[in-house]
Amino acid sequence: MKRRGSGILLHITSLPSSFGIGDLGQGAYKFTDFLREAKQSFWQVLPLNPTDAAQGNSPYSSVSAFAGNPLLISPGLLVEQGFLGKEDARKLPSFPKERVDYPAVIDFKKRLLDTAYQDFKKKKNRNDYERFCSINSDWLEDYALFVALKENFDGKAWNIWPGEIRDRQPEALRSAKNQFQDRAEKEKFIQYLFFKQWSSLKNYCNRKDIRIIGDIPIYVNYDSADTWSNQRIFKLNGEGKPAFVAGVPPDYFSKTGQLWGNPVYDWKVLKETRYNWWVQRMEHVLKLYDIVRIDHFRGLVAYWEVPVGEKTAINGKWVEVDAEDFFNALFKHFFDLPIIAEDLGMITADVREVLKNFGFPGMKVLLFAFGEDKPMHPYLPHTYEKNCVVYTGTHDNNTIKGWFEKEANARDKKRLFNYLGRKAVTEELHWELIRLAMTSVANIVIAPLQDLLGLGEEARMNRPSFAEGNWQWRFLPAQLTSSSAQRLSEITEIYGRA
């Protein structure tokens, strides 16, 4: 990450596809070719883990920190690879092209994957599949059993399963594996398909000199395979329920803080195990991605812990983590840790010290420089250091055009125009700000595709305060033009990022 470069933030679900949702098929390869044509070095994606309709299909809320999202599996590639017949992938519902209709997609993909599995069971040559299962057994066995059990218990949380299964008594687990062998085997097969397709796409990107930036949430869901199979490393009570949950304290944005509800790690136990679970997690994600952005990085230095039962995050407390010991332990396992630290918000001196000591780049969001009550000097381009990653916006922000039209007041606009040194042409404002980020000394610049295309609020990916309507935006093939690639290529070359 020492070399100057730039890239695009686009989640897989936002790609064009005939199957109702972006996937790992033809649309992903065409987008890779676009990045290459535009002389980009990075493609940043959101977490690829399974999503849950009950959690609004957020990629930041999953039943597994290791598994891949079945909805991203390409039916087109399944046909090419011989896992489906052509007629199976032709029976398409009427999907909207610019949004993801999750209920329709879930039903459709479930039917296709069921068909693929039933056909796969008849095949004799399963060497590649069995090799995948063996390599990934550390997480795959527990994950597949968790999915089978959760389905059997009507979706109930694992802590109210029968006590012997909840507590993972060996005899009960052996019995469950026998009883639900076929359902667990199907889930392993689905994971095999996902990682087979993802590996091919990543290799294609790397051959085009494009590096993938992945994203991992620092915490895992309580009702997840991770918590159920690793109960000791979380602060749980005797019944397996959380004793404390994660969040953030009251701040400028919220008088009561934020109560996330994720179980918090027991860092004392993690330290005793030499952080084995985190080592396994990082080993896994570093196979999937070239660079990893850790969401809410500050929680690896100190985290806000709230007793269970609190209605707000006010009565929590800061708990320190031995970050130096943690990262030193990771560096003993990995020659390099290509990490981007999500360090937005109220960041204290201890977090900045960890970033400096280990050389991890933090984040700058350009829109933050102009949209607050007072100038946000750390986000103004002339204040950047080389070792940082600059975003015009993130998945949680409005687009540049949406911000300008819907959120920026007269003061914000004046501040922006003064910084640009002239009256900006508002129709070209997205290009103005992309260029502004490109001119900075920051090693990496990332722009969401929505900003590159100059789209408004309708293309926003996530509204953090809204429970519904998120993670649905998709672009159309016609929106990605050669003229856009040419223009991006030119400014990328001019500012030494090609």
Look at residues 286, 298, 176 and name the one whose alpha carbon lies nearest to residue 247: 298
Tell me the two tokens of residue 242: 């959380």
What is the C-alpha to C-alpha distance for residues 190 and 180, in angstroms, rounded to an integer? Answer: 16
Quick check: 5 and 443 in contact, CB under 8 A? yes
Catalytic residue among 37, 266, 290, 295: 295
417 phi and psi, to 5 degrees?
A: -65, -40
Amino acid at 208: K
Cβ proximity of 393 and 367 under 8 Å: yes
- Which residues, including other chains, have CB under 8 Å from residue 337's CB and lie 6 or more apart? 282, 327, 330, 331, 358, 360
Active site residue 295: yes
**Closest to 464 (Cα-Cα) out of 372, 371, 364, 394:** 394
Max distance between CA atoms of the chain, in angstroms, equals 73
Bridge partners of residue 446, in order along the sequence? 7, 391
Question: Is 342 one of the annotated active-site residues of the chain?
Answer: yes
Q: How far apart are alpha carbons 457 and 17 in whole angstroms?
A: 22
Which strands, in side-by-side order, build the sheet including 317-320? 258-263, 244-248, 302-307, 317-320
d(CA 341, CA 346): 14
The dihedral through the CA atoms of 226, 232, 233, 239 has a sign that is positive
Query: Rounded distance, CA 112 to CA 78, Å?
Result: 9
Q: Which of 215, 223, 342, 451 is catalytic?
A: 342
The count of C-alpha atoms lying within 13 angstroms of the C-alpha of 6, restricted to the half-sphere facing its C-beta, is: 31
Cα distance between residue 84 and residue 207, in whole Å: 28
As a whole number of angstroms, the distance between CA 357 and CA 337 comes to 13
Catalytic residue among 138, 396, 405, 457: 396
Q: Is 495 exposed, middle or buried (0-12, 13-18, 19+ CB in 10 A)?
A: middle
33 is known as an active-site residue:
no
Are the CB atoms for 238 and 305 separated by under 8 Å?
no
Question: Cβ(262)–Cβ(309) under 8 Å?
Answer: no
Active-site residues: which are they? 295, 342, 396
